[in-house]
């Protein structure tokens, strides 16, 4: 067997899932993660279609079901709190929904005994030669590997090193999202409630952790903003300014925002690239195919991609270029569909508060499971 020694950058969803499948197929993966430990993530992610099959084949579907948020249908209200429509949970929670931190904990526990994890470190350079790659790190000596996988998210460092600046690949969809914890002051019972405040501005509150907590998720439309991604207080000021003067429970949410210690604030962007690999470097998950949270498919893409990439590497028996091409070919249409779906959601968020018929039509037509063309190959 050749090309067995594989470095994966990123221990989110795609990285540990790939480590699992590579181990099963006889490879030796190493995962380097910038954070000091698997990262907590206060938001929920969901699974649909083929991703459920991948979880089953990994033997963790039951463990994940045990952590399921079991979120039920959600209500949409107007700014005076009057009921507009009930949205089926399939629209926003797929077939199964968990907090991202529960998912990353399960994936890490599944792989940690058979995979070398290097936390608190990051790749700084990748020098490829005929026999492999010499990888340099922020800390420690350079190391040799056969292949490098960038599974390091929307702002992938591997992508920046091997393919060039983020600006070439990241496309802002004109909207921002802020998520933070609040008390369950709306007494939500495994449910959510949302309000469209105006074009591009929505607020949603969901109960979490068996109704002991809740999460607020605010969206607002804006051109790209110039702010310091490490300055949380600056981000809070930006968000508060966007929602100042809004009704519903916004004043209460803004007080919780000011006091929050877990704010997650992100532009809603997508990653589009002509090719997901170059030489011995390949990208996986959000690094090459981010569809944005509004697609509801990012986690599924990461899991399915990990399964396909490991399967193709094993099938191609050393021809990594053929494996990279086949992995990408199988996933591209799925990613394109998911990215288009997210763009449609953005357009809807920017509509004037839709009339009742639009809400009713949405509620009556929850999304199908994955498009049928993504049939998982058996390896």
Ligand X SMILES: Cc1cc2nc3c(=O)[nH]c(=O)nc-3n(C[C@H](O)[C@H](O)[C@H](O)COP(=O)(O)OP(=O)(O)OC[C@H]3O[C@@H](n4cnc5c(N)ncnc54)[C@H](O)[C@@H]3O)c2cc1C
Is residue 296 at the binding interface for ligand X, with CB under 6 A as the rule? yes
- Contact yes or no for 21/303 (Cβ under 8 A): no
Among 32, 54, 254, 374, binds ligand X (CB under 6 A): 32
Find the part of the chain contacting ligand X (CB under 6 A) among 65-73, 199-207, 275-283, 284-292.
Answer: 284-292
Question: Under rule CB under 6 A, which residues in 197-226 are in contact with ligand X?
Answer: none
Between 46 and 65, how does the x/- string for binding to ligand X read (CB under 6 A)?
A: x-------------------
Toward ligand X, which CB reaches closer, 46 or 102? Answer: 46
Residue environment code for 99-138, b if the CB has 16+ CB neighbours within 10 A, otherwise e: bbbbbbbbbbebbeeebebbeebbbeebebeeebbebebe
Q: For the chain, what is the HEC assignment?
A: CCCCEEEEECCCCHHHHHHHHHHHCCCEEEEEECCCCCCCCCCEEEECCHHHHHHHHHCCHHHHHHCCCCCCCEEEECCCCCEEEEECHHHHHCCEEEEHHHHHHHHHHHHCCCCEEEECCCEEEEEEECCEEEEEECCCCCEEECEEEECCCCCCHHHHHHCCCHHHCEEEEEEEEEEEEECCCCCCCCCEEEEEEECCEEEEEEEECCCCEEEEEEEEECCCCCCCCCCHHHHHHHHHHHHCCCCCCHHHHHHHHHHCCCCEEEEEEEECCCCCEECCEEECCHHHHCCCHHHCCHHHHHHHHHHHHHHHHHHHCCCHHHHHHHHHHHHHHHHHHHHHHHHHHHHHHHCCCCCHHHHHHHHHCCCCCCCCCCCCCCC
Among 73, 146, 246, 286, binds ligand X (CB under 6 A): 286
Toward ligand X, which CB reaches closer, 155 or 379? Answer: 155
Toward ligand X, which CB reaches closer, 151 or 162? Answer: 151
Toward ligand X, which CB reaches closer, 197 or 218? Answer: 218
Among 161, 249, 257, 302, binds ligand X (CB under 6 A): 302
Between 111 and 150, how does the x/- string for binding to ligand X read (CB under 6 A)?
A: -----------x----------------------------
Toward ligand X, which CB reaches closer, 161 or 317? Answer: 161
Among 194, 221, 293, 311, binds ligand X (CB under 6 A): 293
Is residue 35 at the binding interface for ligand X, with CB under 6 A as the rule? yes
In angstroms, rounded to a whole number, what is the distance separating the alpha carbons of residues 146 and 164?
Answer: 21
Toward ligand X, which CB reaches closer, 12 or 49? Answer: 12
Among 49, 192, 285, 311, binds ligand X (CB under 6 A): 285
Toward ligand X, which CB reaches closer, 117 or 320? Answer: 117
CB of 202 to ligand X, least distance (A): 13
Toward ligand X, which CB reaches closer, 15 or 192? Answer: 15
- Contact yes or no for 334/371 (Cβ under 8 A): yes
Question: Under rule CB under 6 A, which residues in 255-274 are in contact with ligand X?
Answer: 264, 266
Question: Under rule CB under 6 A, which residues in 74-113 are in contact with ligand X?
Answer: 100
Is residue 39 at the binding interface for ligand X, with CB under 6 A as the rule? yes
Among 21, 148, 157, 196, binds ligand X (CB under 6 A): 157
Is residue 34 at the binding interface for ligand X, with CB under 6 A as the rule? yes
CB of 97 to ligand X, least distance (A): 7
Find the part of the chain contacting ligand X (CB under 6 A) among 36-44, 58-66, 191-199, 360-368.
Answer: 36-44
Among 8, 19, 22, 45, binds ligand X (CB under 6 A): 45
CB of 2 to ligand X, least distance (A): 26
Question: What's the distance, CA 157 to chain centroid?
Answer: 16
Q: Pick from 201, 314, 191: which is nearest to 247 by CA?
A: 201
Is residue 15 at the binding interface for ligand X, with CB under 6 A as the rule? yes
93 contacts: CB under 8 Å, gap ≥ 6: 44, 46, 69, 71
Residues forming the site for ligand X (CB under 6 A):
9-15, 32-35, 39, 43-46, 100, 122, 151-153, 157, 177, 179, 264, 266, 285-287, 293, 296-300, 302
């Amino acid at each position: 067997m050749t090309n067995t020694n594989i470095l994966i950058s990123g221990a989110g969803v795609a990285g540990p899932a790939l480590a699992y499948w590579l181990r099963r197929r006889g490879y030796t993966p190493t995962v380097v993660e910038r954070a000091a430990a698997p990262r907590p993530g206060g938001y929920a992610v969901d699974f649909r279609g083929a991703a459920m099959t991948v979880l089953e084949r990994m033997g963790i579907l039951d463990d994940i079901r045990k952590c399921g948020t079991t979120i039920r249908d959600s209500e949409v209200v107007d700014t005076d709190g009057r009921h507009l429509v009930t949205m089926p949970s399939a629209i926003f929670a797929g077939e199964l929904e968990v907090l991202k931190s529960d998912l990353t904990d399960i994936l890490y526990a599944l792989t940690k005994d058979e995979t070398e994890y290097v936390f608190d470190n990051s790749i700084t350079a990748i020098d490829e030669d005929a026999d492999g790659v010499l990888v340099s790190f922020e800390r420690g000596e350079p190391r040799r590997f056969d292949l490098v996988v960038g599974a390091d998210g929307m702002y992938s460092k591997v992508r920046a090193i091997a393919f060039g600046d983020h600006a070439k690949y990241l496309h802002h969809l004109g909207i921002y999202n802020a998520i933070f914890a609040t008390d369950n002051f709306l007494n939500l019972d495994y449910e959510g409630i949302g309000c469209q405040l105006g074009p591009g501005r929505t607020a949603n509150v969901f109960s979490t952790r068996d109704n002991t907590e809740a999460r607020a998720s605010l969206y607002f439309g804006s051109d790209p903003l110039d702010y310091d991604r490490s300055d949380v207080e600056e981000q809070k000021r930006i968000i508060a300014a966007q929602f100042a003067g809004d009704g519903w429970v916004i004043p209460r949410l803004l007080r919780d925002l000011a006091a929050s210690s877990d704010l997650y604030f992100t532009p809603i962007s997508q990653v589009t690239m002509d090719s997901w690999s170059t030489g011995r470097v390949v990208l996986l998950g959000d690094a090459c195919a981010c569809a944005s949270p509004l697609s509801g498919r990012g986690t599924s893409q990461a899991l399915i991609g990990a399964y396909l990439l490991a399967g193709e590497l094993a099938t191609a028996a050393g021809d990594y270029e053929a494996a990279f091409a086949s992995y990408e070919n199988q996933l591209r249409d799925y990613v394109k569909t998911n990215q288009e779906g997210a763009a449609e959601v953005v357009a809807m968020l920017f509509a004037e508060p839709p009339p009742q018929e639009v809400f009713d039509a949405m509620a009556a037509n929850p999304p199908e499971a994955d498009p049928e063309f993504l049939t998982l190959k058996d390896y």
